[in-house]
């Protein structure tokens, strides 16, 4: 289909997918280079692809932006307006050509998801192809199947366009409204997304098991990228959830493959919408039931070539620890920096300062130089999230991993040294508890080792 410069601005008529893709790629290349030149040579600041999501490198209220930032944003907005109009006009024509409802134009303005939307419009067949398929009996019997491309790549793109936005919405429902970080977002959502993605992918025609599982896993991976791009989650938590989410998504994809291979469902809509009820149902049940989190204990020990009397002084209050070299702490997990003691004996208060704040620890047992036991009144955030934004506050940073009490036990050794054992009792409201305990136990053990090694070094001096 030929298109003139005047046609770019007209929302009337239809547009083929090839023309839409070509104009889109050329338009983005022109706009990106124009934005980069203006940002670099006029405002003297770098400009990359991610700046389309975070133009000023911070998450702030638009009313708080002023001065140079406001001038920069106003200029970039003025440059974007012509491209926005052209994009909307071409997208409306493309929707009309593919027999899709015009209200889907709203996806044009949704960050990250609009990329999947554009890709799908480049792959969905035109009206004439759809009509030919219908007259030759190739219609799958559902409204969704009518817009699915026959190609495997096109069907995969459409399945991701449906499942990823809904998956993000379900995660927001679980974490922001129901305040759940458990079976809903970590189990039900990835399984349901994998099943739905595989089911939609195979509606047009049966697909292979490997490709169904691949599309299912891709939907879970794109969900994580979308959550990070929308400042909902950080990279550390997403990396921790990945070993749990990907196998569940793959299992859902395999189940979807089995359904479409047996042709148990000629219309995937009922199963798809059943999943929309299943996932919030799991989250609501978990929210109402509110299971009591178990208390876990982590014990770490080390031998120190110094008497207990000398080690005790380092246990009570240790000096500044050098910056961490462990990959876990350098990735953003909170790590101990120093310990300060206010007073002495039972009732005194110990402050164990971490990179994210201080644990406030009232002393319960002061048995010098054998045993120091304390409760924990205040817990700082367990990590600083890796994120392209300057800072994000996710709910799980507060109250979902809580230290209850701790203890240092000093035992004299026959050679004049000390066997020092540190114990932390903690709880977390992350489910499945067994899976997340693998992470939390490892993190707390590394925290213990950082402190115990420093105490040994100081006691040996």
Q: Where are the domains of the chain?
A: 1-97, 138-290, 295-460
Average pLDDT over residues 60-74: 66
Give the CATH architecture of domain 295-460.
2-Layer Sandwich (3.30)
Average pLDDT over residues 163-178: 85
CA distances from 380 to 218, 234, 333, 343, 383 (A): 35, 17, 12, 22, 9
The answer, yes or no, to whether the previous bond of 198 is cis (omega within 30 of 0) is no
CA distances from 285 to 178, 179, 279, 347 (A): 10, 12, 10, 42
Percentage of the chain beyond pLDDT 90 is 35
Tell me which H or E stretch contains 133. helix 127-135
pLDDT of 166 strictly over 90 = no
Q: Between 229 and 57, whose confidence is greater? A: 229
Average pLDDT over residues 209-213: 92
pLDDT of 264 strictly over 90 = no
pLDDT value for 61: 46
pLDDT of 460 strictly over 50 = yes
pTM score of the predicted model: 0.71
**What is the arrangement of strands in the sheet containing 371-375, beginning at the earlier edge strand?**
295-304, 418-428, 401-412, 371-375, 357-367, 349-354, 336-342
Percentage of the chain beyond pLDDT 70 is 85
pLDDT band at 446 (very low <50, low <70, confident <90, very high): very high
pLDDT of 3 strictly over 80 = no
pLDDT band at 393 (very low <50, low <70, confident <90, very high): confident
pLDDT of 313 strictly over 80 = yes
CA distances from 53 to 112, 172, 392 (A): 8, 19, 15
Which of these, 339, 348, 369, 307, lies nearest to 454 by C-alpha position? 339
pLDDT value for 154: 79
Q: Which residue has the tokens 């911070």?
A: 58
pLDDT value for 20: 86
Evaluated on CA atoms 161, 58, 171, 242, the torsion sign reads: positive
How confident is the prediction for the chain on average, in pLDDT? 83
């Amino acid at each position: 289909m030929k298109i003139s410069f005047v046609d770019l601005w007209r929302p009337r008529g239809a547009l083929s997918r090839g023309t839409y893709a070509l104009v889109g790629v050329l338009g983005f290349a022109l706009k990106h280079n124009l934005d980069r030149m203006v940002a670099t040579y006029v405002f003297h600041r770098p400009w990359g692809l991610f700046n389309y999501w975070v133009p000023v490198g911070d998450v702030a209220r638009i009313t708080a932006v002023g001065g140079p930032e406001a001038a920069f944003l106003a200029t970039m907005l003025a440059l974007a307006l012509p491209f926005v109009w052209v994009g909307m006009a071409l997208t409306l024509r493309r929707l009309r050509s593919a027999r899709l409802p015009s209200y889907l134009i709203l996806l044009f303005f949704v960050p990250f998801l609009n990329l999947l939307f554009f890709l799908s419009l480049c792959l969905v067949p035109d009206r004439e192809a759809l009509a030919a398929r219908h007259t030759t009996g190739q219609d799958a019997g559902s409204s969704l199947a009518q817009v699915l491309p026959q190609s495997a790549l096109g069907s995969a793109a459409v399945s991701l366009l449906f499942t990823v936005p809904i998956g993000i919405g379900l995660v927001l429902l679980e974490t922001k409204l129901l305040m759940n970080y458990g079976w809903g977002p970590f189990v039900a959502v990835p399984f349901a997304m994998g099943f739905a993605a595989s089911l939609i992918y195979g509606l047009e025609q049966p697909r292979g098991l490997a490709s169904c599982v691949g599309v299912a896993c891709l939907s879970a991976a794109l969900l994580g990228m979308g959550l990070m791009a929308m400042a909902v989650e950080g990279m550390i938590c997403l990396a921790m959830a990945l070993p749990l989410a990907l196998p569940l998504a793959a299992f859902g994809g395999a189940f979807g493959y089995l359904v479409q291979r047996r042709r148990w469902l000629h219309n995937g809509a009922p199963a798809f919408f059943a999943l929309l009820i299943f996932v919030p149902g799991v989250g609501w049940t978990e929210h109402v039931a509110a299971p009591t989190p178990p208390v876990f204990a982590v014990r770490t020990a080390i031998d120190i070539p110094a008497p207990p009397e000398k080690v005790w002084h380092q246990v009570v209050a240790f000096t500044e620890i050098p910056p961490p070299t462990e990959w876990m702490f350098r990735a953003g997990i909170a790590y101990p920096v120093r310990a300060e003691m206010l007073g002495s004996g039972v009732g005194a208060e110990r402050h164990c300062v971490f990179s994210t704040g201080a644990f406030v620890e009232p002393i319960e047992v002061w048995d010098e130089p054998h045993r120091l036991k304390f409760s924990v009144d205040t817990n700082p955030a367990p990590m600083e999230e890796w994120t392209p934004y300057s800072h994000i506050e996710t709910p799980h940073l507060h109250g979902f991993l809580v230290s209850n009490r701790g203890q240092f036990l000093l035992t004299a050794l026959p050679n004049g040294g000390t066997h020092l054992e540190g114990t932390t009792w903690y709880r977390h409201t992350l489910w499945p508890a067994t899976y997340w305990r693998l992470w939390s136990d490892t993190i707390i053990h590394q925290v213990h080792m950082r402190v115990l090694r420093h105490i040994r070094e100081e006691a040996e001096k």
